[in-house]
Every structure is written in structure tokens, then in C-alpha cells.
Amino acid sequence: MYLYLVIGLQVYCVYHCYTHKNSYQWMFVIFFIPFIGCIIYFLRKVIRKSDVEQIEERLTAVLNPGKKIRSLEEKLRFSDTFENRSNLADAYLEAGMYEEAISDYKTCLKGTFQNDFYVTSKLAKAYYFSTDYDHAIACAERIKDHTKFRKSEVAFLYALALEKEGEIAEAEHYLSQFDAPFSRYRERLELAEFYIRNTKKEKALELLNEIVTESEGMSKPSFEENKILINKARELLVSEVAS
């Protein structure tokens, strides 16, 4: 198995070296230092610097979110642009610093960018997670006629905020737009739970049955991707049937 792996890696590296017209000295490295040579070539010639930087940025954001925020704050102090401020607001939002995110998003929504869909949707999200449902709804309603609104995350949160404020029929209208076969399992599971919360058990059972039935014909990668949500739907179905 190891031998096949090394040969396959060598073939790929040789092909890449030839098609990208890299120095033929790399061919000797690939052939005469089989595994290590391939790894060196892969790191030096196949993975782009931009890809490595993106990976490093993502790891930093997860392991040390404060470092990312400080870097973005410094960028904003150096150059107060729409992009720098919205990037900082995004970082605040990811870190759960909702008040700071809201403040920066509101600052972004001025002048040329006062109707920006992206920032308005993020502002609605920040309001929602800070439990300010009235403002979340108000923000979403400013963009709900936009072509990107339907089936977007902000539409989903808008529906949940409407439910929180007692607008059940309107919330159902927006949540039901996510009900499409073999997709949107997070939103469809939430819709099923919405039905349960609002005494519409038959609709909930029908939807949960659909999700479970779909899972039985899924490819293995699709099932693995949605396994947690499908298992939760199965457990919820059993629980509701038994109650």
C-alpha cells in the first residue's frame, strides 16, 4: 500500500512539474528521494503561498481569535475603509462580541454603502444573537426584497426572530421556503421543531419522516456530512411518535 502511495505521488509530481514547466532538477529530487522529495516538491511548487496564508489565517482565527481582532483593529486605525471596518465587524461577530460588531456594521451602512446587502444581513445576525429581535427584524425587512434574501441565512434568522416576537404565520412562511428534498437539513430540522413548538405535530412528523427516508438513500459522503442532523431528526421522530 505504501509503495502504491509513493508511486502515485511521484506520478502526480512529475506530471505537475512537466505541465508547469518547472526546473527539471525537480525530476531528480522526485525520482531519487521518492517520498521526501515528493513532499518537498508538493510544498514548494504545488501549494500556493496564498493557500498557505489562508490556512494560517483560519487556524489563527480558531486558536487565537484575539490576535486576528487586534490585527484588524490595527488595519482600521491605519486605514478607515469600508472593507477594513466590515472585516473587523465580521471578526467581532465570530468572536461573539455583538455590541462591537453592531457598532461597526452601523458605521459601514452610510453613504454609498447604506443599502449594502452583505453588511445589513450581518447586522441583522448580530442583533439576533444579541437577542435584540426587534432590530434584527427591522434590518432583515430592509433587504427582504433583495434577490439574495430568499433561502439565505438572514432569511432563516428573520423567521426565527419573527417567531420570538409571536409572528407565527409569518415565521412559518419564511421557514417553509427552506423545505426542499435532499438539502437544507439544518433549516428543515428547525422547521420540524418549529411545528412541534407551535402544536403542528402532524406537519412535524411528516417532515421528520421525509428527512429520515431521504437519509436511507444517501451516498456515504452526503450521510457523513449531515449525520448529526439526521440522527437528531430520527431521535425527534421516535420521541414525537411515542408521545
Residue 159 pLDDT exceeds 70: yes
Closest by CA position to 106, among listed 88, 94, 133: 88
Residue 111 pLDDT exceeds 50: yes
Residue 162: all three cell numbers together: 419573527
Q: Compute the average pLDDT of residues 124-150.
A: 97
Contacts of 72 (CB under 8 A, 6+ apart): 84, 87, 88, 91
Least confident window among 29-33, 107-111, 168-172, 205-209? 29-33
What is the per-residue pLDDT across 31-77, written as a single tens digit (0 to 9) for each? 777 677 767 766 666 665 445 455 455 555 555 667 889 999 999 99
What is the per-residue pLDDT across 81-94, written as a single tens digit (0 to 9) for each? 999 999 999 999 99
Predicted confidence at residue 175, as pLDDT, reads: 97
DSSP string, 147-178: TTTTTSHHHHHHHHHHHHTT-HHHHHHHHHTT
Residue 231 pLDDT exceeds 60: yes
Residue 15 pLDDT exceeds 80: no
Predicted confidence at residue 50, as pLDDT, reads: 46
pTM: 0.74
